[in-house]
């Protein structure tokens, strides 16, 4: 017992640098409303639960079939909730079908037309996203909040730098700043609270990295509601991924953020992949393969770049959380291989070293390296028949 305790203590000390002290926000339930949901339990946002991965469809919501197809593909990649816009009646009409058959809770995105929000709630949405500032009159806002209360549907108050209220902007010299975004969020929160509802999550999105990060830090100090992190209009896949990783990575390392959405000018499936890569890099969540590979240099004993691409494309079915190291030579290759589930190290002999569970396993020449490694991965970590 004592030895185990010491072992446990030493591991804790060894990895103490990895610990992130997350703020424990109020928790919120995205209930299961459809028949297609694959998880029997509701998705919990906040309160110390794992950071929830979500994205937003870009199909016409009125086309329920295409929307469900996209939701399904995102689910397969790890989406835990999906948002759909409801800009018109045809969209809310399709919501029933979407909610009923979706594998994950559906969040309805509502702007301007409070009635679309009520229709979406009646169709079974698990949550609605509104910007109370643009939803209409106070009476209209109260109607939508009443529908949420009656149906136990949480609200995301989504403040965005592009739609900040004029009076708040004027107060801050017409220049968006963290104080302005947070003031808008707190005003909107109060409006909803005054109407008797506190199942709330909040976002203060901006496309500027520093503005976004500092706004969320300030908001996190001012309220205890779960925060939906997002760098809005992040841009094309490559630069948008970097900007999102910088901003959300900084916040997550501060222990801020309960759910994330990456906003790329790319398909939502790509956004889900980025969400996971980001959460995996901070070891906040785990899912599937983590590839550790070197950039390659003159010492490489096989073409690292093409080998990584080939192996990665042939193991997309692997759902187990495994580390694969692919390094072009022995400089760092063996060290990484001994810490990975499977490791490949380029050898000068042309017979490259393959490690399994940290131990030497076999050798393979360049010509059959990919094939050999993929075979081992599939047999060791692939789903077996009946699983
Ligand atoms: S592991 Fe070897 S091949 Fe890869 S970058 Fe380092 S020295 Fe170069």
Same domain, 144 and 56: yes
128 located within any domain: yes
| Domain match, 276 and 303 both | no
129 within a domain of the structure (yes/no):
yes
Residue 297 CA: which ligand 1 atom is closest?
A: 8
- Evaluate if residue 343 carries a pLDDT over 50: yes
Among 254, 281, 308, give the residue marking a domain's end. 281
- In the chain, where does DSSP find H-type helix? 2-14, 64-77, 89-101, 114-122, 138-151, 166-171, 178-194, 209-222, 237-253, 268-281, 304-313, 330-337, 366-381
Mean pLDDT of 23-48: 86
Q: What pLDDT was estimated at residue 8?
A: 46
- Residue 386 maps to a domain: no
On whether residue 211 sits in a domain, the answer given is yes
Q: Mind listing the pLDDT tens digit for each residue in 254-306? A: 999 999 999 999 999 999 999 999 999 999 998 889 999 999 999 999 999 99
Q: Are residues 275 and 298 in the same domain?
A: no
- Please list every protein residue whose CB sits less than 6 Å from any atom of ligand 1: 294-297, 299-300, 327-329, 331-333
Instruction: Tell me the per-residue pLDDT of 108-146, one tens digit each, with 9 for 90 and over.
Output: 999 888 999 999 999 999 999 998 778 888 899 999 999
Atom of ligand 1 nearest to the CA of 333: 1
Pick from 281, 316, 336: which residue ends a domain?
Answer: 281
Question: Looking at residues 245-249, what average pLDDT do you find?
Answer: 98
* Final residue of a structural domain among 263, 281, 299: 281
pLDDT digits (tens, 9 = 90+) for 193-210: 999 999 999 999 999 999
Residue-wise pLDDT for 208-237, tens only, equals 999 999 999 999 999 999 999 999 999 999
Q: Which of 307, 328, 346 to mutate to test the pocket of ligand 1 (most atoms within 8 A of CB)?
A: 328
Contact 346, 364 (CB under 8 A): no
**15 part of a folded domain:** no
Instruction: Give the domain extent around 182.
Output: 21-281
pLDDT tens digits for range 55-111: 999 999 999 999 999 999 999 999 999 999 999 999 999 999 999 999 999 999 998
With a cut of 50, say whether residue 5 has pLDDT above it: no
Using the 8-state DSSP alphabet, how is residue 231 labeled? Answer: B
Q: For residues 185 and 133, give the distance between their C-alpha atoms in angstroms, rounded to a whole number.
A: 10
Strands 200-205 and 228-229: unpaired
CATH assignment of the domain containing 236: 3.20.20.20
Choosing from 304, 340, 353 the residue with most ligand 1 atoms within 8 A of its CB, the one to mutate for a pocket test is 304
* CATH number of the domain that residue 329 is part of: 3.30.413.10
């Amino acid at each position: 017992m004592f030895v185990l305790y010491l072992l446990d203590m030493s591991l804790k000390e060894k990895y103490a640098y990895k610990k992130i002290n997350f703020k424990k926000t109020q928790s919120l339930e995205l209930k299961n409303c459809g028949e297609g949901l694959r998880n029997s339990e509701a998705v919990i946002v906040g309160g110390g639960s794992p950071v929830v991965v979500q994205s937003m469809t870009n199909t016409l919501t009125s086309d329920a079939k295409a929307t469900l197809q996209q939701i399904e593909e995102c689910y397969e990649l790890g989406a835990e909730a999906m948002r759909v816009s409801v800009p018109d009646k045809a969209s809310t009409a399709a919501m029933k079908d979407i909610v009923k058959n979706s594998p994950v809770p559906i969040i309805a995105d509502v702007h301007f037309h409070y009635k679309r929000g009520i229709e979406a709630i009646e169709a079974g949405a698990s949550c609605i996203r509104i910007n109370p500032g643009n939803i209409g009159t106070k009476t209209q806002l109260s109607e939508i909040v009443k529908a949420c209360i009656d149906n136990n549907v949480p609200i995301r108050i989504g403040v965005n730098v592009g739609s900040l209220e004029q009076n708040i902007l004027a107060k801050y010299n017409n220049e968006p700043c963290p104080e302005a975004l947070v003031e808008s969020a707190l005003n909107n929160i109060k409006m909803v609270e005054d109407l008797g509802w506190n199942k709330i999550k909040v976002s203060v999105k901006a496309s500027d990295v520093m503005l976004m990060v500092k706004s969320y830090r300030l908001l996190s100090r001012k309220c205890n509601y779960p925060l939906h992190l997002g760098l809005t209009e992040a841009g094309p896949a490559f630069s948008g991924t970097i900007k999102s990783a910088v901003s959300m990575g900084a916040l997550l390392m501060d222990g801020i953020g309960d759910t994330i959405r990456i906003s790329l000018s790319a398909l939502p499936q790509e956004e889900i992949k980025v969400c996971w890569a980001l959460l995996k890099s901070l070891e906040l969540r785990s899912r599937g393969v983590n590839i550790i590979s070197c950039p390659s240099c003159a010492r490489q004993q096989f073409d690292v770049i093409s080998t990584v691409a080939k192996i990665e494309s042939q193991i997309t079915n692997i759902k187990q959380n495994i580390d694969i190291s692919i390094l072009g030579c022995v400089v760092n290759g063996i060290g990484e291989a001994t810490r990975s589930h499977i490791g490949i190290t380029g050898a000068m002999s042309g017979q490259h070293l393959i490690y399994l569970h940290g131990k030497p396993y076999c050798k393979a020449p360049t010509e059959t390296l990919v094939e050999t490694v993929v075979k081992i991965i599939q047999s060791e970590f692939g789903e077996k028949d009946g699983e």
